[in-house]
Amino acid sequence: MKQISSDVAIIGGGLIGAAAAISLSDLGVNVVIIEKKSNFSNLKNYDDKRTIAISEGTKKFLSKINVWEDLGLYSQPIKKIKIIDRNFTNMLDFDNSRRDSNLGYILKNQILINKLYKKLIKKKNIKIINNDQVYNIEHNSENIITLSNKHKIQSKLLIAADGKNSPTRSMLKTTYFKKNYNKKAFVINITHTANHNAVAYEFFNKFGPLAILPMKKETNNYSSSIVWTNDTEYLEELSKKADTNIINVLEKHTSGVIGNIKTINSKNLFPITAHINSKFYERRLIYIGDSAHSIHPIAGQGWNLGMRDVNSLLKVSKKHLNLGLNLGSNNFCKEYHEDTFYDAYRLYQVTDKLDNIFLNSNKITTIIRSLGFDFLKNNKNFKNFISDFAMGVSS
């Protein structure tokens, strides 16, 4: 077993783990990434058809750590968002013209991970270990020790970025609350006939929301990604049908806003669950991203919430390093928790309650929703507050 010493070790080399490593390396911190998959050892073999919604706040952070740079060439800006409750008589429009910026950006996962790893590979103070799995975590008086199949890694701080079903969380028996919505999301990348004009749509229907997210053109065809939440059994049956049948169903639910659907480029089903850890730290360890929390996709903010964790990690790390303090102390871990937990808990609750409100079709709730839409249409300040909250920027 090879022994390694580092300031920080990160379990999980996905988007959040990679962003955290880059952020810390820019502070002069030595980082080791342990990734159980082998995908990242050869990015040419990494094939991920999913897209990611990047908020304006996340874009600013990626710019701060010099990752955004040429990503703008591959990302599709969202200039407007239209929210429709059952039909177009109940519709809200959001834009960000007052700030002269976009509401967000849609980017392919594969492009972002490639960009992150190109930057990681150039960093002399980052070591990447692929195809290796952690099986135990120990402590001595000054360090946390991560034991994997091939390595023994000693560090001051361990960061768990190993996803929603975090093995680290199970290993350390960190308690968490989980909610299963007993639904799935059908994620379909399509080409279509009408120009989306950089507008995103979210239709709130009886069985769940259907979002249409604008994408960059594919071989000169207009492209979008559809994220449709519905009953598990219904979506599983639909996903098995021929593309022509799926297109016919989708066209009925997209109300012609993107014209006719030409092709389906990819399709995936994901279960809808949410969770939040009781705390985001243990002894010399912190949880970031999905290992700490996951939320209902109704607002498309899950990954952006994880990036806010990375931003908080960077802020707390800078403070402690400037004071000459080690990363990973009990004060460090508690401060990170206090800086991130309320933000995550609030968004966990907001998305859960929104799902309940929009699913409810009884007459009183429908009237209340309609009144709420009318209130927002006529209250610019409150509407601006909601768009700022979604973008992760300050008013």
For residues 147-162, give the mean pLDDT: 97
pLDDT greater than 70 at residue 388: no
Residue 264 CB coordination number (10 Å): 17
Overall residue count recorded for the chain in this entry: 395
**Separation in Å, CA 311 to CA 58, 60, 174:** 9, 10, 23
For residues 334-358, give the mean pLDDT: 90
pLDDT greater than 80 at residue 280: yes
**Packing angle of the helix pair 363-378, 330-359 (nearest 10 deg):** 110
pLDDT for the residue numbered 204: 86
Residue 156 CB coordination number (10 Å): 20
Look at the block and give the residue holding tokens 């946390």. 144
| Dist. CA 239–CA 103, nearest whole Å | 31
Out of 96-105, 110-119, 326-335, 372-381, pick the least confident: 372-381
Measured at the alpha carbon of residue 372, what is the angle toward residues 370 and 375, in degrees to the nearest 5? Answer: 115
Convert the pLDDT of each residue in 160-169 to its tens digit.
Answer: 999 999 999 9
271 and 182 Cβ atoms separated by less than 8 Å: no
- Strand (E) positions, the chain? 2-11, 31-34, 51-55, 76-78, 80-85, 91-95, 104-108, 126-129, 134-139, 144-148, 151-160, 176-192, 199-205, 208-218, 221-231, 261-277, 281-282, 285-287, 293-294
| Dist. CA 165–CA 144, nearest whole Å | 22
Convert the pLDDT of each residue in 49-67 to its tens digit.
Answer: 788 999 988 999 999 999 9
The two three-digit tokens of residue 369, written as one number: 């929703």
Measured at the alpha carbon of residue 240, what is the angle toward residues 234 and 243, in degrees to the nearest 5? Answer: 110
Convert the pLDDT of each residue in 127-141 to its tens digit.
Answer: 999 999 999 999 998
Strand partners, 383: none
Query: What value does the mean pLDDT of the chain take?
Result: 89
pLDDT for the residue numbered 374: 57
Nearest to 81 by CA among 50, 55, 112: 55
Out of 38-52, 67-81, 293-307, 317-331, pick the least confident: 38-52
